[in-house]
Every structure is written in structure tokens, then in C-alpha cells.
Chains A and B, each alone.
Chain A
Amino acid sequence: MSRSALFLMRMRGFLRKEVLQIYRDPSSIALAIFLPMVLLFIFGYGVSLDAEDVPLAVVLDDPGPEARDFAARYDLSIYFHTHYAKSIIEAERWMTQRRVEGIVHIPQGFAADLLAGRTAKVQIIINGVDANRARLIQGYSHGILQKWTEVRQARGEPALRPAATVTQRVWFNESSISRNYLVPGLITLIMTLTGILLTALVVAREWERGTMEAILVTPLRRIDLLLGKVLPYYVLGMLGMVLSVVVGIFLFGVPFRGSILALLFLSSLFMLASLGFGLLISAVIRVQFVAAQISIVAGYLPALFLSGLLFDLDSTPRFIQIISYILPAKYFVTISHTLFMTGNVWPLLLPNALALASMATLFIALAYRNITKRLDG
């Protein structure tokens, strides 16, 4: 038989074995399909960077209809849940007890000042413990004030005099729903975790069960071993990715504005980088438990915190930004955000794709170098 026929026979045997194992041992499927779904549901439903139904104390010291009309705007807002306090003292007590997150204080003379054309004053106090949330509440509150002013002006009634008018428009995530931003980022996280864990665990399992030792003493070559592990888990990992995207779009209503082909191509690069990293781990670590720990510490956690998925990298210290450049996840977060919310912006996608392609090549090459047909390295 020719060399290539022998190679094909070995690959066929190896791949069939992997497929049968995936099919019969639920742990790989759990890792590739079940784990992404769990993460997606936790993040999709459980984690939200939006504020809704924020408990708010309203202190209405002015009995006039204008003051009441203004307060009613807060009652009607979906962002707030109002509680009327008898006095500012009571409202402040609520605030200290964290029963409310903000106070809208409409002082006496509000209506009089308004009608007289003087500057009417409203005091808004916000709990600033969570600075991000405080800014959100401030923004919503500001929006209500502005809207109310516009309505009154339109009706020709005396209104608060704005110092300047800000016309705000949000692009790409028009309704500013954090889920639209989180889900694409999450897909990065899922692919990092499954890609690394799949290969690292599967290879470590072969060492633990003693099967690796037996197949090493066959004419199997290192390249066979590499391909035999990358190909099946590439397919499995991509299945998990596609499933996550489908759930993201149809269940969570996340927009998708790029092309599917671009997504498949670019995510393939990322998946290969993850698988390559997993193989690199597996070349050194032969115990599943340790392989899993290293995958989490060296793969999942950096992808979660340092890739710009949750936290904007521009506001992090310089050295964190430098670290983030060696994370494949950083490039794919950008790609994923762009494809979901903006579209095929190739000038942005291409440099990131290039970075991913070189990292995938690097990891797989390193893994190949470190795969050994011997027991002692």
C-alpha cells in the first residue's frame, strides 16, 4: 500500500474512534453543547448591565399640579419604581437602608418658580456605591427631565429652561440593551472554554486511561495525532458555536448584521487557536483535573476579564492592555461585536482575523512540536 493510503487508513480509524467516543461518552457533548447553553442562559438572563425598576424615593414638598405632573413622569417610567416619602428625612433613611437607590426631591416653590419663569430647582440624589449603575440612573433621570421639558414647551406651557439641548443618538445598539453587547462577547467566552477544554481533557483522558500508551506504539505519526484530535473537536466546537449564535439571535433577540459566511470563517480561526492552545496544554499535562484547572486559569479567566468582553480595555492600565494583545479572545470579541451589531466592516475585521490566524498557527505549531511519541518527553 502506498504511504498516502496508509495515512488515510490511519486517519479513518482514528477519526472513527473519536466520533464513536464523542457519541458514547456524554462528557464531550456536555462540554461542547450543554456548557455553552448553561453559560448563555446564565449570562443572557442572569447578568444584565441595564437598570430597570430602580426603587426611587420621591419627596413632593410642593403641592402644586406642576410638581405632581413632574413626579408622575417618574411613576410612568419603566426604569423606576417610585415610593413617595413624607419628608426628605424619611427618604434619606430609606436611602441609608438601601431600600431605594435614589431620591427625587421637588422642593417647595417649584411650581411657583416655574410659573414665574424663574429657574425651578429639583434635587436628585443617587446612591453612588456602584458607579456604573449610578451613572445609568442619572442618565435615565436626566432623560425624564428633558422629555418633560420638551412636552411642556410643545404645549406652550412654561418649562424648565435647559442650559443647552443635547440631542443623543445611539448607534448600533439603538435601544442600548446590554444583552446585545453581552451575548456576542459571551460566544467568545464559550468558544475559548470549549475549545481549550475539549482537546486538553480528551488527550489527558487518554493518558489517564492508558490508551495513549497503546496507540503510541503503533505506526501512528505525530501529525496523525494532531489532526485526529483537532478535526473532530473543531467540528464539535463549531456546532456549539452555531447553536449559541442561533439561541442568541432567536431567543435573546440579539441582532446579527454581518454575514454568516464571515462568522463561520472568522470563528474557525478562533476555534483553531483555542484548540491549539488546548493541545499545547495536553502535550504537557497528562491528568484531566490539572488540565481543567489550567484551562480555566490560562484560558477562561483571561478571556472573561482581559478581552474587553465585560470591561472596556481602554480604561484599564497599560500593562493589562499589553497582556490583552496576546489573548486570541480579545480579537474575537471585536470581531463578534462587529458582526453582530455593525456588519461586515472588513477594515476592522481583517486585522483582527490576521491576528487570530497567526495565533492559531503559532499554537498548533507549538502543540505539534510538543506532541511526543515517547513517555518521557
Chain B
Amino acid sequence: MGLGTADDQAAKSDIVLVVRHLCKSFVTKKGAPAQWALDDVSLEAHAGRVTGLVGADGAGKTTLIRTAAGLLLPTSGTVTVLGLDSAKEAIEIQRRVGYMPQKFGLYQDLSVDENMTLYADLQGVPMAERPERFQRLLRMTDLTAFTRRRAGALSGGMKQKLGLACALIKSPRMLLLDEPTVGVDPVSRRELWKIVYALVEKEGIGVLLSTAYLDEAERCQHVVLLHEGRNLDEGAPQKFKDRIRGRVFLITPPADVKPRQIQNHMAGQKGIIDATIRSGRVRVVTEHGWGAQVAETLPAAWRPHIREALPQFEDAFMALIPRRQGHFQIDPHPAVRKGLPQDEVVVQTRGLEKWFGAFEAVKHLSFEVRRGEIFGLLGPNGAGKSTTFRMLCGLLSASGGEIRVAGHDLRRSGAQARAHLGYMAQQFSLYGQLSVAENLTFYGRAYGLGDPKLRERLAWADAEFDLARWRATPAGQLPGGYKQRLAMAAALLHEPDIIFLDEPTSGVDPLARREFWLRINGFAEQGVTVVVTTHFMEESEYCDRMLIMSQGASLAMGTPAEIRKLVRTPDRPDPTIEDAFVALALGEVIPGGHAADNGKGDSP
């Protein structure tokens, strides 16, 4: 904001995008009130820099990018791209910008080369320029060896890179990228960013990019923080971080304390905005003016372990977005459920395999989960997490190997095993037209809960998940976070001792994601075993142990600390789980063996 200074005036000449008071509403049903996806948003993007649209799902990022691409008409306000009005001169804009939609717009039946030729034809790239241009784009995206492969047979990361190559086919002056890195493995994510930087620096392209990964905001030169259709704030990432200096702290857990316990203690304390686990430590953001007093909220034994930390963008984000009502408070003294033997192995697989035709989706996987553990299956889209997961729940049959759940062999006594399981599917799988209470009653009955028990559990669900005021609301009309609460309540209604959660935090805003993990922590403290999949690498910090998967195989298994330790080097003293994934996937480190210098090394 504030385009007053001389520097800014100079920069004005290379403004590639101007959004002025943009509003966009959608009418979902006739007669229903319009949904405002964007509400009076103004922003600018410049040539030669990456402008990031940062926000949770439903913040309005996609709507804004689509409007800029001429795919949507503003309800009011204007979008000007390269000096052209997006409502009136869409086709002229489309000649000049590269656009990459969230769902890659690639033709799966066409090869890499054919996809690129198609877009070159559509964009009118002269034949003479093509060989050189294609070669350069292929080299940039590392796809030279795959020109004849069908797009459908590429990995998720390669698809994204091909999508980017297609968007760049005409050397556009501006790039619109809608969540180009979502669900992509960390290695490909880093490569995509490298390409974007190269374009910005060498060719001076203006990039408008949306992302739900808060760590990616730091990679942008300018960040616009969208929240529920409004521009909350914008500026360089550093500006966001500077503002909360002195309000961010790290607590290193003492020897006998789990980070989770500290997190549970801190979350919901007065003056504490955010408490997360990062690299084995608890990261805390305080409210304005509370930084000096943060140590007082800790028990005396923990106080020496707290120190101030440099703010990250995520901390600033959490401090900026408005809290919603009914903020979750964790019970600091959970009651351990009785009658559950501790330390018993409840889920066990040995040599688990799954073949789909000639494709091996899961390769010889063996692991164990103990009672009361939070066990994470981690990996990018397409790593085989969901397939493994469905086999564990008995939804898919294994092609080979053994699975035992709660002491039952899933192949022989699936039904008995299932009575112990709670399952929350990746997609919202409740009945949208039924009310909250009706959905819960249905699930309770399906699990055979009798009247008194059902009443007791419904009361529990109302209290635990703060669902009481939504009882009569049709499930389909719940706000996002509450849908997820309801799904979880339904999965837990029959008091399972093992719960399986498939990508529970996918498409959920950061606030709801934190709340979700606090709840999970709570259940684990009560002795419930939790098996969870996620593609958010940093979420694995909440797990007791995890299995990192890539292309159907296990890359590494262990506690977050063990995994991080695998990849610790002198130049990387404090690696994140994402660093670990990248190092493991690239073969820089062989779990159980030594670091390999040439990336190959001998197998353990």
C-alpha cells in the first residue's frame, strides 16, 4: 500500500497487475444469499518479482487468479493485467499471460511433446522458434528424457513442471500460478521454485502465485495475505516478521517431557496465540505485549528451557488472522482410558504389497504401531499412503504380506477388527442433507450403539467438538472446520481404540489444522492409537513415530528426532522433516547406513 515515495513511482512503470476494489460473489442456489468470495480486494503485482497470494482454503485466492485470467467477471471493481481490462479484453490478456490452473490442465492421453505442441499452436508460437524454445523449457523442467511419455504417466511433480512449461510456451510477460505446489513432493517443490526464480530474475516476468503453504510465503518478494475474501495485509515477508519480533519463543523439552505435553500446556493459555511443535521443540507466539511474561505461564521446571526465536512468516500469519469463536481448549489433565494395556502392538504389517495391474503401488512395507501412539504416514501425493491406509482399514485387499489390526488378521476376521476401528475418509463422507444430530445418530446406530449409550455419546460429541449449536444444521452447510469436527466425531462415536485418519488436514485452514492436532494429542494421551496420513511434512512433528513414503516404498521410519538426525550435517545443523525428505528422496542419505557422497551408496 501507500504508493507515495519516489522509489514506488519508479516501480509503477513495471506494474503488471492492478486489482482495484474487486468484489466477486457466487450464487450457489436460487434464493440463497450470495457467497462473497472476494470482498473489496485491492493489490498490485510488479514485473520481476514474485507476488504471493497467501491464505487458507476458501480465502479467495483461486477466484482472484481466475478473475485476472479473464475466466471470471468481477461483480464489482476492476482487474487490469498488463494495462488491459480483464472483463473487456480477456482474449488480449490471454495472449500475453501464462496461466496454470490448480488442477493441471494437461491432456493425460497426450505425450509431453504433444501437450507442448498443442499449447504452442494455441498460442501461435512460430514454427521457427519452437525447437529452441521447447529445448530450453524441457531443460529447465528436467523433462528432456520424457518427451514421449504420456502426461498421465508422469509423477505429480513432473506433471506440475510440464504444466508450467506449457504456461511458459509463449514467453509470457506475466505468470498466474494457482497453488502450483500443492500436494507435490518437497523435491519437486524446490525445483518448481527454482524455475520460478530463474524466470523472474533472468526474464523479468511478473509472477502472481497462490499458496496454502505458509513457508512458501517467505519465498515471495511481496505477500498479500487473503483471509475470507479480504486483503488483511501485504508487504515483504520481512515486514510481517518484523512486526512480531519479541513475541516468538522456542521451548526445548526437558529430557523426560514430550513436546506434545508442553504444547498441550501452552495452547489456550492466556496471552498465547499459537503453540506448535517444530523440529522437536515447541514454538510459541504470544499476543502483543505478552512476550515478556511468557515464561511465567510455564511450570518452574520448564522455565530454563525457553528462549526467544526469530519470527517466521507462519508466526505472523497466526498472529494476524482473526480468531473465531469457540476456540478449542484442551483438557490439561486427560483421563487415561482404563482397561487398555499399554505398549502393546496394535497394528502390524509385514511385507505388505499392493499391485494394480502391472503397477506396484505399495512395495514391501513392514511397520508396527503401538497402543497410544500417533503414527504418521508421510509422503507426497501418489506415494502410496492412501493405498496403504485403505489396506489397513480393510477397504482394499492386500496383494501380498500380512496385516494384523487389534490382534486380528484382516484377511480372516475383518469384521471383528473393524469394530475396534474408527475411520475418517479424506473426502467429506457424511450425508450433506442430514443434520448434525441425524448424521451422528445414523453412525451410532450403524455401529450398534443402544439408546442410553447413544445418548451418552451424542452428548459427548456435542461437548467435545462444540457441536451443540449446530445440531439442527444440515451437515453440508457447516463451515469447513466444523465439517471436519463432525466427521471426526462420527468416527469416534463408538469409542474405537484405533483411529485411522486419511489426510484429515488437507484443505483445512491453519487454525483448524492446529486445533485438530491438539485434539489428536488429547486422544493419544487417553490411550487411543492414531494412524494418520498427511502431505504436510511439518505436521509429522506431532507424530510419535512416522513412516516416510515415496513411490510406494518406505524411505525411512522413526521418531521425528531420529529422522532429523539422519540428515544432520555440519552445514545443516537443524534440519526440518522436509529437509530430511529431500535428502532421503535424492539418496543423499541412506537410512541405517552412511551418508553417500555420490547419491548412490550401497543399500542397507
Contact = CB atoms under 8 A, between A and B. Distances in A.
B103 A375 contact: no
Contacts of A24: 109-110, 150
B105 A219 contact: no
A20 B103 contact: no
Interface in B137-168: 150, 163, 166
B122 A220 contact: yes
A285 interface: no
B344 to A, nearest CB: 46
Interface in A17-51: 17, 20-21, 24-25
Given A217-B69, A217-B97, A373-B70, A9 B121 contact: yes
B95 interface: yes
A211 interface: yes
A218 B122 contact: yes
Contacts of A216: 71, 94
A213 B105 contact: yes
Nearest to B127: A9
Given A210-B101, A219-B124, A20 B72 contact: no
B104 A13 contact: no
A221 to B, nearest CB: 7
A131 interface: no
Nearest to A11: B121
A152 interface: no
Contacts of B150: 24
A283 to B, nearest CB: 16
A233 B71 CA distance: 26
B124 A6 contact: yes
A215 B110 CA distance: 14
B121 A14 contact: yes
B120 A25 contact: no
A211 B99 contact: no
A215 B121 CA distance: 11
B387 interface: no
Interface string A193-229: 0000000000000000111111111111100000000
A212 B107 CA distance: 10
Contact of A217 (B70, B120, B124): B70
A10 B122 contact: yes
A7 to B, nearest CB: 9
A12 interface: yes
B99 A217 contact: yes
Interface residues of A, number: 30
B415 interface: no
Interface in B403-442: none
B473 interface: no
B108 A215 contact: no
A1 B99 contact: no
Given A213-B103, A214-B99, A373 B121 contact: no
A376 interface: yes
A191 B117 CA distance: 33
Nearest to A210: B103
Given A17-B107, A214-B99, A219-B91, A12 B70 contact: no
B109 A12 contact: no
Nearest to A377: B73
Contacts of A21: 107, 109-110
Interface of B: 26, 66, 69-73, 90-91, 94-95, 97, 99-110, 114, 117-124, 126, 150, 163, 166, 176
8 contacts: A16-B114, A17-B114, A20-B110, A24-B110, A210-B101, A210-B104, A211-B105, A216-B71
Given A16-B118, A214-B106, A374-B90, 15 more contacts: A17-B110, A21-B110, A209-B108, A211-B106, A211-B107, A215-B105, A217-B71, A217-B99, A219-B91, A219-B94, A219-B123, A219-B124, A374-B70, A374-B71, A375-B66
Question: What 5 A-B pairs have minimum CB-CB distances, sorted nearest first?
Answer: A214-B105, A13-B121, A210-B103, A217-B99, A218-B122
